Structure 1
C-alpha cells in the first residue's frame, strides 16, 4: 500500500498522521530536475574557449550563457514563489520539467547544420539557456515546499537537504564532464546531446509520476496550512519578521560569497602559479565535501532540532576558513593546505544551506515555504552580482607574475589579494552579526507540539468524564 502510518512523529496522538511512499518518487523527480538544471547552467563554463570557437563568437557572449541564469532568476523568482504557494507544487514541477527539456532541445538545434542557421545559431543557444534559466527558480524553491507538504517532521530536514544539494551536484557533474567530452570545438553538439538526456528523462518522469500537489492526508500538523496567509499577506508578514530578515541577509550574503568563490577560484589560484587542473580538483573537493557535510548535518538536525546552533557554529567555522583561504591562496606551493581548506570550506558552508532554509520556515511559520526560501534565493542572486562587481573592481595588475599560469589575453595577471581579504571580512561580519543578532522561536514545531498536547488533553478529559 502507498500509505504508511508515521508512528515516530505521532506517538501519543489519537489520530496518527499518514505518509505516502510516493513522496520518495517526488523527491527523486525534484533531485533529477535540480541536477539537470545545474548541468544546463554550467554546461559551457569549463569549455568557454572551445564554445566561442565553435559558435564563432566572443568570450563575453559565452559568459552570458551562464550569467543569464543570474539575471532571469530575480524577476522569475517572484513568479516562482507565487506559483509554489498559490497554485501548488505539482504545477511548479511540471512547468520546470517542460521548460528545462524544451530549453535543452533548442540548444541542440543551434548545432544542427541542416537548419543552416548561420550567425543565428548563437541566438538559438541563448534562447535555450533562457528557458532553462526560467525553470531554475521553480525547482530551486521546490525542496523546502516538498519537505513541508509530503514528509513527516522527523524527515523534513533530510528531504530538504537531498533536494537542495542535487543542484550543486549537477554543477559539479558539468564541471567535470564538459572538459572530458569536449576535446575540441566539434565536440560541442555531443556535449549538448549528453546534457539533454537527463532533462528529457526528468520531464517524462515528472509528467508520468507527479499527479497531486499535496498528499491525500497531511503528514504533520503544519502541513494542513489551516492558518496560512495569502501570498501578499505572507510577504507583509516576512517584512515585519526581524529574525527572518536577519537570516535572509546573512544566508543570502553567504550564498553570494560562495557563488563568487566558485566563479573566481581558477583566476585567484592561477595568479600564484597553480594549474587549472588543481583549481578544478579544488573546486570538486569543495562541492563533494559540501554534499557529505549537508547529508550528515541534515540527519543530525532532524533528530535534535538544533537548527540555530548548527547554523551559528557553521557560520563561524566558515568565517575562519575564509580567512585561512584569503591568506594561503596568495602563497605558492601550498597545494595540500589549499585543498584541505577548500574541502572544509565546502563541508561547513554547503552543510548550513538546507538547514538554514528549514530554520527560515521555522521562524516564519505559517508563511508558505516557497515564499520563505524564494526570497532568500533572490537576495543571494542580487548580492552575488554586487559582490562580483565589487571583487573585480578591487583587483590590480600583479607586479611579479613570472610564475603565473593565467592567460594574459585580457591585459595581464590580476592580483586578487585585496578582494580575497574583503571576502574574508564580509564572511566574518556575517558570522558575527548572525551569531549575536539572530534569535527565534521554532514556530512550526511549537504549533505541532501544541496540537499534540491539546489532543492528549482532550483525550484525558474525555476519559475522566467517562469514568465518572
Structure 2
C-alpha cells in the first residue's frame, strides 16, 4: 500500500506542473489577441494626418508667389503654416483630456471634421487672402487632437514587438504629408504666376485640388475609428487600461521631475524646431541663395522622403533591441552633421548639391519624432502617452515658433548667414541633451514584471489545487 501511495502521490505532484505549463501557455495565447483592425486603423489614421500636414505645408514652397498674387507680406504667408504650431499650444490640454478620458474616437472625428471644413473654406480665396488664413486656422485647431495619438494607438492596438513600428507609422504621417505638400504645387504653380493676371485663378485651382485630396484621404478614418480592441494585444496594454487617469497638472509635474524625460524634451525640441522652421521659412531662406519655388518643392520633398526612410530604418532595430539611448545619441550627432551639410549646400548655389544635402539632413533629423515619442512613453510610464508626447509637442512647438520668428527677423534684416549659424547652434544644444537620457524603459519592464508575476501566481495556485486533489485520491484509495 505504501508503494502504491507513493507512486500515486508522485504522479499527482508532477502531472499538474507539466499540465499547468502547457495550459498556462494556452491561456496566455488566448488572453492577448491582435485585432485585424489594427493596421487599417493605423493606416487610415495616418492618411488623415497626411491630409493635415498637406494643408499645413502646401503653401510653404510658393510663399514668394503668394506674396505677388495677393499683395501680402512674408510674415502673413508664413502664418499659413505657423498657425498650426501656434494653435497647438492652447488646444493641447483639451485634446489630451479627450484622448485620455473619452478615447481616441471623439478627438479623431472632431479633428477630421475641422480639417475637411477648413480645407473647403479656402475656396473663397478669390475674394480675399484671409479666407485661406481662416481655413488654415480651422485645420490647425483640429491637428492637436490627432498628432499625439500615435503612441496611444500603438500601445492599445499593437503587441509589444510591434509598438515602435506602429508609433513610427503614425509619426511619419506628417513627413509624408510634407512630401505631398512640397510636390503638389509643381504642376499648378510657377514663379511667373506672381506677376500674371491668371495667377489668382491658378492658385484657386491648386487649392481645389489640395482640398479634394485632403477630403479623400481623411474621410475613411471616420468609418473605422474605434477606441480600443475587444481584447488587449499585450500585458502592458492591459495594465495601461487599468490605470486611473490623473490630472494633466499632476502628470506635468511628474514629467518635469523626470530627468530622462527632460533630456528627451531638450533634444526633441531643439532638433524638431529645425523641421518646423524650414517648413515656415524655406522660401525665404532659399531665395537668399537664388533658388525658386520649384527648387523649394524638390528640396522639401527630398528632405521628407529621406526622413521617412531614415525613420523606418531606426524603427526596425528599436523594436528588436530597444537601444533607445544609443539611437537617440546617433540622431543627435548626425543632425548636427546634417544642418552643417545643408548650410554648405546652400552656399554652393548648385541645385543638386543643395538637394543632396537637404536629403541627408532629412534622413538623419526626422527620426527624432518617432524615436522621441516611443522613448518618452517608455521613460514616463505610467503617465499617459497622450500627456508625455503632448508635452513634447507643446514645448517643441513653443520653441519652434520662437526660433521661426528669430530666423525670419534675421532674414528680413539681410542676415542670411547668422540665421543659418543660429540654427546650427540650436541643433548642437539638442545633440548635447541627447547624451543625458537613460534607457529607463519603465513601460517594457512593467509589462514583463506583471506577466511574470501572473504566470508564477497561476502555477502556484494550480499546484496547490493539485495537492488537494492528491489528498482526495489517496483517501478514496485507502477507503
- Which structure 2 segments of 5+ residues have no match? 1-24, 191-198, 471-479
| Alpha-carbon offset, residue 358 of structure 1 | 0.4
Q: Give the equivalent residue in structure 2 for 1:305.
A: 322
Cα distance in structure 1, aligned partners of 2:26 and 2:447: 12
User: Secondary structure in 1 aligned to 2:161?
Assistant: coil
Q: Which residue of 1 aligns with 2:457?
A: 458
Equivalent position of 2:306 in the other structure: 289
2:92 aligned with 1:77: yes
Q: Are residues 314 and 238 of structure 1, via their aligned partners in 2, closer, same or farther at CA, if it must alter by over 3 Å? A: same
**Does residue 1:45 correspond to 2:60, yes or no?**
yes
Confirm whether residue 220 of structure 1 aligns to residue 234 of structure 2. yes
Three-state SS of the structure 2 residue aligned to 1:62 is helix
Whether the 8 Å contact between 2:284 and 2:411 is mirrored in structure 1 is no
| Aligned residue in 1 for 2:39 | 24
Evaluate the alpha carbon distance shift between residue 451 and residue 11 of structure 1 in structure 2; reply closer, same or farther with a 3 A threshold: farther
Q: CA deviation at 1:282?
A: 2.7
Of residues 93-102 and 301-310 in structure 1, the stretch that sits farther from structure 2 once superposed is 301-310
The 5-angstrom pairing of residues 141-180 of structure 1 reads 141-180=148-187
Q: How many angstroms apart in 2 are the aligned matches of 1:331 and 1:49?
A: 22
- Tell me the CA shift for residue 394 of structure 1: 4.3
Deviation at 1:166, TM superposition (A): 1.3
- Aligned ranges 1:6-405 → 2 under 5 Å: 13=28, 16-52=31-67, 55=70, 57-111=72-126, 118=127, 121-183=128-190, 184-210=199-225, 212-224=226-238, 225=240, 226-232=242-248, 233-274=250-291, 276-333=293-350, 335-394=351-410
Alpha-carbon separation, structure 2, partners of 1:61 and 1:392: 12
Compute the TM-score of the two structures, normalised by the length of structure 2.
0.83
Equivalent residue, structure 1, for 2:445 = 446
Contact 1:310 1:352 in 2 (8 A): no
Distance 2:295 2:222 in 1: 41
Flag the 1:433–1:11 CA change in 2: closer, same or farther, 3 A.
Answer: farther
* Counterparts of 2:31 and 2:279, CA distance in 1: 45
Take 1:416 and 1:58, find their aligned partners in 2: how far apart are those partners?
18
Q: How far is the alpha carbon of 1:418 from its aligned partner?
A: 2.0
The CA deviation at 1:339 is: 3.1
Cα–Cα, structure 1 residues 191 and 328, in superposed 2: closer, same or farther, change >3 Å? closer
Structure 1 distance, partners of 2:448, 2:316, is: 21
Contact kept in structure 2, 1:85 and 1:231, CA below 8 Å: no
Distance 2:218 2:308 in 1: 25
What do the CA deviations read for 1:316-364 (whole angstroms, capped 9, x no partner)?
Answer: 111122233334533454x554333322211111123201110000001
Conserved 8 A contact 2:270-2:429: no
Q: Are the aligned partners of 2:309 and 2:363 in contact in 1 as well (CA < 8 Å)?
A: yes
Question: CA RMSD of the aligned region, Å?
Answer: 2.5
Q: 1:11 to 1:64 in 2, by over 3 A?
A: farther
Which segment drifts farther, 139-148 or 420-429?
420-429
Q: Greater CA deviation, 220-229 or 441-450?
A: 220-229
How far is the alpha carbon of 1:396 from its aligned partner?
8.2
| 1:430-452 Cα shifts (integer Å, max 9, x gaps) | 212321x2224101100111022
TM-aligned CA distance change 1:281 to 1:23, over 3 Å: same
Q: Which moved more, 1:12-21 or 1:342-351?
A: 12-21
Counterpart for residue 434 of structure 1: 434
The verdict on how the C-alpha distance between 1:123 and 1:428 changes in structure 2, with shifts beyond 3 A counting, is closer
SS in 2 for 1:329: helix
Distance change (3 Å), C-alpha of 1:55 and 1:388: closer
The answer (yes or no) to whether the contact 2:165–2:315 under 8 Å persists in 1 is yes
- Cα distance in 2 for partners of 1:203, 1:258 equals 23
Distance in 2 between residues matched to 1:14 and 1:31, nearest whole Å: 29
Residues 318 and 324 in structure 2, CA contact (< 8 A), matched pair in contact too: yes
Structure with more relative contact order (C-alpha pairs < 8 Å, separation 6 or more)? 2
TM-score, with normalisation over the residues of structure 1? 0.85
Instruction: State the number of aligned residues.
Output: 432
Using the TM superposition, give the Cα deviation of residue 460 of structure 1 relative to its aligned residue in structure 2, in angstroms. Answer: 3.6
Deviation at 1:312, TM superposition (A): 1.2
Aligned residue for 1:416?
Answer: 416
Give me the whole-angstrom Cα distance separating, in 2, the residues matched to 1:367 and 1:388.
Answer: 31
CA distance in 1, matches of 2:358, 2:380: 33
By percentage of residues, which structure has more helix? 2
CA contact (8 A) 2:38 2:158 kept: yes
Partners of 2:267 and 2:434 within 8 A in 1: yes
Q: Name the SS of the counterpart of 2:34 in structure 1.
A: strand
CA contact (8 A) 1:143 1:159 kept: yes
